[in-house]
Structure 1
Amino acid sequence: MKLHQLEALVASADAGSIRGAARSLGLSQAAVTRALRELEANERLPLLIRAPEGITFTEHGKVLLTHARIVLNQLEHAHNDLERLRGRVEGSLTVGVTPWITLTFLAEAVRLFRERMPDIRLELVEGLMAVAQPLLRDGSMDFAVGQLQPGASELEFASEAVLTYESSVMVREGHRKVRARSIRELLDEDWVLNFAPDGKRDLVDYLFTRHGAQIDERRIVRAQSVATLQTMVEQADMCTWSPTILSHVPPFGGRLRSLALREAFEPRQLGIVTRRNSTLSRAAVAFIDCLLQVIRRHARSAKKEDLALFKTLELLI
Structure 2
Amino acid sequence: MKVHQLEALVAVADTGSIRAAARLAGLSQSAVSKTLRELETQQKLPLLVRNASGIVFTAAGDKLLSHARLVLGQLRRADEELAELRGDHVGRLSIAVTPWIMHTFVPQALMRFRERMPNVQLEIFEGLTAVTLPRLREGVIDCAVVPHTTAMPAQEFESEPLFAYDTCVIVRRGHPASHATSMAELRDYDWALNFTVATRPALLNDLFWQHGIDIEPRRLHCAHSAAFLLDLVRHAEMLGFCPRPMLATEAAGGWVHVLPLVERFQTSNVSIVSRRNSVPGAPAECFLDCLRGVIRQRARSANPVDRDLFGMLDLLM
Aligned residue number for residue 92 of structure 1: 92
How do 1:200-279 residues align onto structure 2 when only pairs under 5 Å count? 200-279=200-279
Separation of aligned partners in 2, 1:260 and 1:53: 51
- How many angstroms does 1:299 deviate by? 1.0
Question: Using a 3 Å threshold, how does the CA distance of structure 1 residues 119 and 178 change in structure 2: closer, same or farther?
Answer: same
- How many angstroms does 1:157 deviate by? 2.8
Tell which deviates more after alignment, 25-34 or 247-256.
25-34
Aligned residue number for residue 179 of structure 1: 179
Separation of aligned partners in 2, 1:24 and 1:193: 36
One-letter amino acid of the structure 2 residue matched with residue 247 of structure 1: L
- How many angstroms does 1:166 deviate by? 1.2
How do 1:39-58 residues align onto structure 2 when only pairs under 5 Å count? 39-51=39-51, 54-58=54-58
Contact in 1 for aligned 2:100/2:246 (Cα 8 Å): yes
Tell which deviates more after alignment, 19-28 or 143-152.
19-28
Aligned residue number for residue 10 of structure 1: 10
One-letter amino acid of the structure 2 residue matched with residue 83 of structure 1: A
RMSD across aligned positions (CA): 2.2
Separation of aligned partners in 1, 2:15 and 2:253: 44
Aligned residue number for residue 191 of structure 1: 191
Question: Using a 3 Å threshold, how does the CA distance of structure 1 residues 215 and 19 change in structure 2: closer, same or farther?
Answer: closer
- How many angstroms does 1:54 deviate by? 4.7
Contact in 2 for aligned 1:167/1:241 (Cα 8 Å): yes
- How many angstroms does 1:245 deviate by? 1.5
Question: Using a 3 Å threshold, how does the CA distance of structure 1 residues 174 and 76 change in structure 2: closer, same or farther?
Answer: same
Contact in 1 for aligned 2:151/2:199 (Cα 8 Å): no
Secondary structure in structure 2 of the residue aligned to 1:149: coil
Aligned residue number for residue 283 of structure 1: 283
Question: Using a 3 Å threshold, how does the CA distance of structure 1 residues 44 and 246 change in structure 2: closer, same or farther?
Answer: same
Tell which deviates more after alignment, 144-153 or 262-271.
144-153
- How many angstroms does 1:155 deviate by? 4.5
Question: Using a 3 Å threshold, how does the CA distance of structure 1 residues 93 and 185 change in structure 2: closer, same or farther?
Answer: same
Q: In structure 2, list runs of 5 or more residues that go unmatched.
A: none
Tell which deviates more after alignment, 41-50 or 204-213.
41-50
Percent identity of the aligned residues?
Answer: 47
Aligned residue number for residue 165 of structure 2: 165
Separation of aligned partners in 2, 1:249 and 1:38: 52
Separation of aligned partners in 2, 1:71 and 1:109: 29
- How many angstroms does 1:51 deviate by? 4.4
Separation of aligned partners in 1, 2:221 and 2:40: 44
- How many angstroms does 1:115 deviate by? 0.8
- How many residue pairs get aligned? The number is 317
- How many angstroms does 1:95 deviate by? 1.2
Give a deviation string over 1:271-294, Cα, whole Å, max 9, x none.
111122211110001001111111
Contact in 1 for aligned 2:142/2:284 (Cα 8 Å): yes
Say if 2:292 is the partner of 1:292: yes
Question: Using a 3 Å threshold, how does the CA distance of structure 1 residues 21 and 50 change in structure 2: closer, same or farther?
Answer: same
- How many angstroms does 1:29 deviate by? 5.3
Give a deviation string over 1:88-120, Cα, whole Å, max 9, x none.
121111111111012211111111111111111
Secondary structure in structure 1 of the residue aligned to 2:89: coil
Say if 2:79 is the partner of 1:106: no
Tell which deviates more after alignment, 233-242 or 111-120.
233-242
Q: TM-score, normalised by structure 1?
A: 0.91
One-letter amino acid of the structure 2 residue matched with residue 186 of structure 1: L
One-letter amino acid of the structure 2 residue matched with residue 204 of structure 1: L
Separation of aligned partners in 1, 2:17 and 2:125: 27
- How many angstroms does 1:146 deviate by? 0.4
Q: In structure 1, list runs of 5 or more residues that go unmatched.
A: none
Contact in 2 for aligned 1:148/1:154 (Cα 8 Å): no
Secondary structure in structure 1 of the residue aligned to 2:141: coil
Secondary structure in structure 2 of the residue aligned to 1:307: helix
Contact in 1 for aligned 2:233/2:239 (Cα 8 Å): yes
Question: Using a 3 Å threshold, how does the CA distance of structure 1 residues 72 and 309 change in structure 2: closer, same or farther?
Answer: same
- How many angstroms does 1:153 deviate by? 5.2
Secondary structure in structure 2 of the residue aligned to 1:120: strand
Q: TM-score, normalised by structure 2?
A: 0.91
Question: Using a 3 Å threshold, how does the CA distance of structure 1 residues 250 and 31 change in structure 2: closer, same or farther?
Answer: closer
One-letter amino acid of the structure 1 residue matched with residue 268 of structure 2: R
- How many angstroms does 1:226 deviate by? 2.1
Secondary structure in structure 1 of the residue aligned to 2:295: helix
Aligned residue number for residue 149 of structure 1: 149
Secondary structure in structure 1 of the residue aligned to 2:9: helix
Tell which deviates more after alignment, 49-58 or 276-285.
49-58
Contact in 2 for aligned 1:129/1:148 (Cα 8 Å): no
Contact in 2 for aligned 1:40/1:46 (Cα 8 Å): yes
